[in-house]
A = this chain, B = another copy of it.
Amino acid sequence: MKSICGVEGVTAWGEKKGKFGLALIRADGVAAGVFTTNLMKAPPVKVMEERIRRGTLSAVIANSGCANAYTGTRGHRDALYMASIGAEALNLPAEEVGVASTGVIGRYLDLPLIREQCKRVAPDLARTEEAEVLATRAIMTTDLTEKHSLVRRETFSVGGITKGSGMIAPNMGTMLAFIYTDAEVTAPALRESLRSATRRTFNRIVVDGDMSTNDIALCTATGKAGKVNLQEFSIALEECCRTLAVKIAEDGEGASKLLEVTVEGAPGEEEAAIVAKTVISSPLVKTAVYGADPNWGRVIAAAGRAGVEFNPDRVNLWMGDGQHSVPLVTSGEIVVDLSRAKALMQGKKVTFTLDLDAGKSKATAWGCDLTEKYVEINGRYTT
């Protein structure tokens, strides 16, 4: 198994009918979550946030096709009702079931459809390859690829599935991530580990700079594997989240190339991240990467507007394809060999490494190119 069902104590199932999918994931344990910071938080996010506050969770019901966002008090009632549909089907107390939605904003949930789908999904919950694949597909919207990750350690595992393709901004996007571990971790420690991992992974991917109303990253620890070294667990969790995050960037709406930007020599990690995310977000950098046009000046221009102080005359810049790299700028002097640079941009991955020579910290951010396909996908989303 490649992801969540590889973790002891987790069962899942899902179905997808056209645009409308429903997934159920069952896992009793200690739970923590990270949520969108958008002021327009969707009702399911509020419900999930409230439920997770108790520190435990037994299951999640998630739908795709309708975000149940900006739907007011009716939306809140609907989210509670959707959770109770899941609870009933799994024979659990309602407050032990979390809820998540993704899809179009400003539409009400089709509760009869959700009830119907839930009825079909609940009896099949299993710990199989098929189960995790169906659960993953059920939460996909414009995603083209299924996004799984499983990190195995000697004594425990961390597995996760995620969806997300557009509205992927700094600080999470239209992203649902359900992560499970059999490690035994306390609620505060799990919360802390998940926050730290999210900060360095999901919060460092940008597809289009738009922040969703519905983001949820959830981690449940079943404890089946017993006590673990907390540092080792945090590293494994971050690795799992990073794999999922990079898969989201790779599958960004319309993307043809993964873009990875590492900023080194920054005064602090957050400063490095700010510069890296500014470059990753730049439409001009993104279109140049798409066209395999080594117009590296756009990287420098984007870095220069990030709001972080450094001396332009001291920077170093390299470009690569993940395997090889060429210098573009050395100590502020242009040294680029344009034809070699162009050759390196032909593959599925383009990397930039920017050394600000202004400190010792570094950070990496991931994004994708901007293509005609992105415009096509988003120009007619609801019609």
- Which residues from chain A sit less than 8 Å from chain B, CB to CB? 37-41, 67, 69-72, 104-106, 166-167, 169, 208-213, 281-284, 287-288, 290-291, 293-298, 300-305, 309-310, 312-313, 332-334, 336, 342, 370-372, 374-383
Contacts and interface: CB of A to CB of B under 8 A. Distances in A.
Nearest to A207: B283
B209 A287 contact: no
B374 A305 contact: no
A105 B372 CA distance: 24
Given A334-B70, A375-B370, A305 B211 contact: yes
Contacts of A378: 283-284, 287-288, 291
24 contacts: A37-B305, A38-B301, A39-B305, A40-B303, A70-B297, A70-B300, A70-B301, A72-B333, A105-B297, A106-B297, A106-B336, A167-B284, A208-B284, A209-B209, A284-B378, A287-B378, A287-B381, A288-B381, A290-B379, A293-B379, A293-B381, A370-B375, A371-B375, A374-B375
Nearest to A287: B378
A300 B40 contact: yes
Contacts of A38: 301, 304-305
B40 A374 contact: no
Nearest to A313: B72
B305 A105 contact: no
A255 to B, nearest CB: 12
Listed residue (A71, A284, A298, A301) with the most chain B CB atoms within 10 angstroms of its CB = A301
A375 B287 contact: yes
A230 to B, nearest CB: 33
